[in-house]
Structure 1
Amino acid sequence: MSFTSLGQIAEGGIRLPLCSFKVPAGFPSPAADHMENPISLDELLGVRAPSVYLVSIDGDSMIGAGIFSGDLAVVDRAIEPAHDHVVVALLNNDPLCKRLCIRGKQIILKSENPRYPDRYIMEGDEFSVWGVITYTVRSHGR
């Protein structure tokens, strides 16, 4: 699974209304009675921070983590990568999205799809974590 960096968010944006109730799947509820103060999705997702980038995901190796090809991922480069984080990394100059697994000194990049093997970082590999995925956004209108 690879990614394409879309870069940082440009200045601007609008505030959207936030409903104060959780929306049940399958049962409509009148939203007008439950409107709260407007929110900004950029503030909610933290995308205005200088360390935050958007990337487009390509591939199906992370579907078990709920990350699908075409999803937009919010990646924070200021978060220290830790065991079990889903990360965007560079391995031998190839970009990828995997779950970071740290066992002692061994680093494993785990796929969340049984069709793909885990990738063990070996001596001689060029490896760096580019950032930690904090949110993903998916279009359901395609």
Structure 2
Amino acid sequence: MPGQSAHFISALPLTSQPLPYLTFLGRAGFSGFPSPAQDYEPCTLDLNTRLVKNPTATFYVTATGDSMEGWGIFEGDLLIVDRSIEPRLGHILIAMLEGEALIKRYALYRGSPHLCSSHPNYPPLLLEGSDCQLWGVVRAVVHEYLR
């Protein structure tokens, strides 16, 4: 079954220490930097706190394939997956379908639940009557611009 698949990696903490975090917000079209003294408050960002809501139910997956690019998931992206979230229509899931680990969006297609890709070359996969096991809901995607 071609398309987006998942490569499972261990559920280790993302970082052992909080990282420095700047308090200003960036926006597209913004030119230049604000004054360094303007509204400066030193603070930190702990990626575990920000991205992992239920550590005992969280694992990480590396995406392979191109079927989810239209929804912002690219080859090599790190997915943070939470097994404790009840899947709903529209969620992106990690599922085992017919023995293959897949990354797909849970959706209705022609009135029936399917696992869907964003890429038109990969047809929706019918869940009814298939051997499908849900592994979790994708909570976040980490995309590196410089690899």
Return the TM-score normalized by structure 1.
0.88
SS of structure 1 residue aligned to 2:50: helix
Tell me the residue number matched to 2:134: 129
Seen in structure 2, the aligned counterparts of structure 1 residues 31 and 99 have a Cα distance that, compared at 3 Å, is: farther
| Identity across the alignment (%) | 30
Matched ranges for 1:1-142 at <5 A: 1-10=4-13, 13-25=16-28, 27-30=31-34, 32-33=36-37, 34-46=40-52, 49-102=55-108, 106-123=112-129, 125-142=130-147
Query: C-alpha root-mean-square deviation of aligned residues, in Å?
Result: 2.3
Return the TM-score normalized by structure 2.
0.85
Are the counterparts in 2 of residues 8 and 50 from structure 1 also a CA contact under 8 Å? no
Distance of 1:74 and 1:104 partners within structure 2:
30
The aligned length equals 141
SS of structure 2 residue aligned to 1:9: coil
Farther-moved stretch of structure 1 (113-122 vs 93-102): 113-122
Task: Provide, for residues 22-77 of structure 1, a one-character-per-residue CA deviation record: whole Å limited to 9, x for no partner.
Answer: 12345231474334411211111116611000100000100111000110000000
User: What 5-or-longer segments of structure 2 have no aligned partner?
Assistant: none
Farther-moved stretch of structure 1 (18-27 vs 37-46): 18-27
User: What 5-or-longer segments of structure 1 have no aligned partner?
Assistant: none
Moved over 2 A (4+): 24-28, 30-36, 102-106
